[in-house]
């Protein structure tokens, strides 16, 4: 029998843990669990390379829980996680696995939570601490978290901690752990800095690598819906009506889109809530808890807010806004189809975004199948079927009083029972009418296309305004006049279908800049200018150059060295004297103008 076919019992876990796993419905270990449990129980260090959703929390939690001494009320396991959400999720997993271990305590610690509350909990002597690096360091420096009794330390999602700038904090914590304690490192990718940390701190580690494509993508049915921007909401509502699922997470790019879409779905009768980074931690935890308990069916989330989110009820992930890159796509759809469960991911794509769809397919080595928007007739049929199921339950009750009420109403209104029933049904279904508009999605799209073509005239009027000779200088922030600003240019504009929200979302998420410090944004046909705080770090600008919006890299640079071409089209050109050395060698023939790329 191969290692990945072994049962949890054959892996030597305690009866307490086996009982919990049985109650949780875990039938057999995932590949990462099968490969990790043996060496961790044997006291060896390990490096586990696996994507989120492969069962890696159980891979380190189960064997380490098996070694805990319940007589010692002090930290024996420390897990470092990149985000609050992941810290809470991992702590909950430990609690679920150890539910039959009498006297067991696990404590998540992270920024944004009451320090006094954490101090009181630490005094109770939890055996497991799960925390973000900054808050763990804070408690260690205060002396409120001592690692003297530590048996094992786990770095969970090490590459994410590297991206978020925690590498120095991780090094500091590792230098203060007991020399004889065990170390496990889990990461989806292995950048050079993570390899250096592993080489420095791990002792003859066992290397385990689980291919992501077999666990994260293949368990998910991936579909895409091609739809115009104007019809997205209508298409989403139809999809939500027809798909059979309990919990759904819908991804959008920006906080504003998140709130706006949640409000629109609430107005249409869907139990939904936004989940974004500007919400306080208590509100975010409440929204996730409501989804877990079935009080909410839909979360509308941004990428940052959904990191580490693991809710078993999530059967569908909807990418309402296409992500900026394939990594973000894989991370998003990983919220469903986790640990062997089946899931569905639906991606909304406009005509201009089809290129990005193909990029995602190549990067994930997977086929994303086309899906038609459900017709009004299909939606009406589905709604009527659900209504019939609800009425069937009601028919089993005592309806004598209601029968008399129907008879009285028919007599009072001088109508027969069929007409009264129809009127009552229409009243009940006001929020979700059974009869949708009969216009098809294709007709709507063609109408939008005609509208786009007819909008050429006002666009030309905008373009024919006298073009400035340069992009100008940055404006002062109204609410933060003391912040010095600089103007930047990016290579995406109106012709690529970009909006102000796209730009704000990309920069806020990728550069970790508060949207309050993103100044004036001016859209032109092929480029956009954006005002950002002066002195932006070079590594941030280098990263933003590669970030893609509407399928195009931003290629961000300072606006000072560019002027408008005299074409009336808003296309910039560089002054001849300021061309980079590699653009055209001295004496070389002028290159023919490159045809305009309309995306």
DSSP per residue over 526-585, as a string? S-EEEEEESS--HHHHHHHHH-EETTEE---EEGGG-EE-TTSS--EE--GGG--TTTS-
What span, in angstroms and rounded, lies between the C-alpha atoms of 76 and 68?
Answer: 7
What span, in angstroms and rounded, lies between the C-alpha atoms of 207 and 47?
Answer: 5
User: For tokens 């109770």, what's the residue?
Assistant: 124
Residue 11 DSSP one-character state = T
Number of C-beta neighbours around residue 541 at 10 A: 16
**What CATH code is assigned to 220-375?**
3.40.50.300
Buried b or exposed e, range 398-431, using 16+ CB within 10 angstroms: eeeeeeeeeeeebeeeeeeeeeeeeeeeeeeeee
What span, in angstroms and rounded, lies between the C-alpha atoms of 227 and 427?
Answer: 31
CA distances for 577 relative to 334, 394, 557, angstroms: 50, 81, 17
E runs forming strands in 277-353: 298-301, 314-319, 343-349
User: Nearest CA to 98 among 86, 111, 107, 87?
Assistant: 107
Torsion of CA 129, 130, 134, 140, to 10 degrees: 10
Q: Which residues, 6 or more positions from 333, have their beta carbon under 8 angstroms from its beta carbon? A: 216, 217, 220, 222, 317, 319, 343, 345
3-state secondary structure of 343: strand
Buried b or exposed e, range 308-343, using 16+ CB within 10 angstroms: bbbbebbbbbbbbbbbbbbebbbbbbbbbbbbeeeb
What would you measure as the largest C-alpha separation in the chain, in angstroms? 98
* CA 340 to chain centroid: 20
User: Nearest CA to 496 among 319, 361, 356, 348?
Assistant: 356
Same fold? 3-211, 220-375: yes
Domain boundaries, the chain: 3-211, 220-375, 377-428, 459-599
Phi and psi of 249, rounded to 5°? -115, 130
Beta-bridged to residue 154, according to DSSP, are 79, 184
Q: What is the pLDDT of residue 338?
A: 66
- Per-residue tokens: 31: 């590949």
Number of C-beta neighbours around residue 594 at 10 A: 6
pLDDT tens for the 599 residues of the chain, in order? 344 467 888 899 999 999 888 776 676 788 889 999 999 999 999 999 876 656 788 899 999 999 999 999 999 999 999 888 788 888 988 998 998 999 999 999 998 788 888 999 999 999 999 999 999 999 999 999 999 999 999 999 898 888 888 899 999 999 999 999 999 999 888 889 999 999 999 999 999 987 654 434 667 889 999 998 888 898 998 998 888 777 899 999 878 888 889 888 888 878 888 988 778 878 888 888 888 888 888 999 887 677 667 777 888 999 999 886 666 788 788 888 765 677 899 999 988 788 788 878 877 778 899 999 888 888 878 778 777 777 887 887 888 888 888 888 888 888 888 888 888 877 776 666 666 654 343 344 444 433 443 333 333 233 333 334 567 788 888 777 777 888 999 988 887 778 887 788 788 777 777 777 888 888 887 888 999 988 788 878 888 888 888 778 898 988 875 555 433 444 444 333 333 333 333 333 334 343 333 33
What span, in angstroms and rounded, lies between the C-alpha atoms of 473 and 559?
Answer: 8
Phi and psi of 489, rounded to 5°? -115, 140
**What CATH code is assigned to 459-599?**
3.30.70.330
Superfamily, domain 3-211: P-loop containing nucleotide triphosphate hydrolases (3.40.50.300)
Q: pTM for the whole thing? A: 0.46
């Amino acid at each position: 029998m191969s290692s990945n076919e072994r049962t949890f019992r054959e892996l030597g876990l305690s009866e307490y843990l086996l009982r919990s796993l049985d109650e949780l419905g875990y039938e057999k270990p995932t590949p990462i669990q099968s490969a990790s449990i043996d060496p961790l129980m044997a006291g060896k260090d390990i490096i586990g390379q696996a994507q989120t959703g492969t069962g890696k929390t159980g891979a380190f939690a189960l064997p380490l829980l098996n070694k805990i001494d319940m007589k010692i009320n002090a930290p024996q396991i420390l897990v470092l996680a990149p985000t609050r959400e992941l810290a809470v999720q991992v702590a909950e997993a430990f609690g679920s696995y150890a539910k039959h271990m009498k006297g067991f305590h696990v404590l998540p610690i992270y920024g944004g939570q009451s320090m006094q509350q954490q101090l009181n909990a630490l005094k109770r002597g939890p055996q497991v601490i799960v925390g973000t690096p900054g808050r763990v360091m804070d408690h260690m420096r205060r002396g409120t978290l001592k690692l003297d009794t530590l048996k094992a330390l786990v770095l969970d999602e090490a590459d994410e901690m590297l991206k978020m700038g925690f590498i120095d904090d991780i090094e500091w914590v590792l230098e203060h752990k007991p020399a004889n304690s065990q170390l496990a490192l889990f990461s989806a990718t292995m950048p050079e800095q993570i390899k250096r940390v592993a080489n420095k701190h791990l002792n003859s580690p066992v290397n385990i690598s689980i291919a992501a494509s077999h666990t994260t993508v293949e368990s998910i049915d991936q579909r895409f819906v091609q739809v115009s921007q104007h019809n997205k909401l209508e298409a989403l509502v139809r999809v939500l009506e027809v798909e059979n699922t309990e919990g759904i997470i819908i991804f959008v790019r920006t906080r504003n889109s998140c709130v706006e879409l949640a409000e629109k779905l609430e107005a249409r009768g869907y139990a939904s809530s936004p989940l974004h980074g500007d919400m306080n931690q208590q509100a975010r935890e409440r929204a996730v808890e409501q989804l877990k308990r079935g009080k909410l069916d839909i979360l509308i989330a941004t990428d940052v807010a959904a990191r580490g989110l693991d809710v078993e009820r999530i059967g569908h992930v909807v990418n309402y806004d296409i992500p900026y890159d394939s990594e973000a796509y894989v991370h998003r759809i990983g919220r469903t189809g986790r640990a062997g469960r089946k899931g569905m991911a639906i991606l909304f794509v406009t005509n201009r975004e089809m290129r990005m769809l193909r990029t995602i397919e190549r990067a994930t080595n997977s086929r994303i199948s086309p899906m038609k928007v459900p017709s009004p007739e299909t939606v009406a049929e589905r709604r009527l079927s659900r209504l019939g199921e609800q009425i069937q339950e009601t028919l089993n009750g005592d309806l004598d009083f209601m029968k008399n009420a129907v008879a009285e109403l028919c007599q009072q209104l001088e109508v027969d029972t069929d007409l009264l029933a129809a009127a009552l049904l229409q009243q009940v279904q006001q929020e979700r009418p059974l009869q949708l508009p009969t216009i098809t999605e294709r007709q709507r799209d063609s109408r939008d296309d005609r509208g786009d073509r007819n909008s050429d005239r006002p666009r030309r009027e905008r373009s024919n305004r006298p073009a400035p000779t340069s992009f100008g200088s940055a404006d002062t922030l109204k609410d933060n006049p003391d912040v010095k600003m600089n103007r930047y240019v990016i290579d995406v504009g109106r012709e690529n279908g970009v909006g102000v929200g796209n730009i704000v979302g990309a920069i806020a998420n990728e550069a970790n800049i508060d949207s309050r410090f993103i100044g004036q944004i001016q859209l032109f046909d092929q480029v956009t200018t954006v005002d950002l705080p002066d002195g932006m770090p070079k590594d941030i600008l280098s990263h933003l150059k590669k970030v893609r919006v509407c399928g195009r890299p931003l290629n961000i640079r300072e606006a000072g060295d560019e002027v408008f071409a005299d074409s009336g089209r808003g296309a910039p050109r560089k002054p001849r004297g300021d061309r980079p050395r590699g653009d055209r060698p001295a004496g070389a023939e002028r290159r023919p103008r490159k045809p305009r790329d309309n995306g």
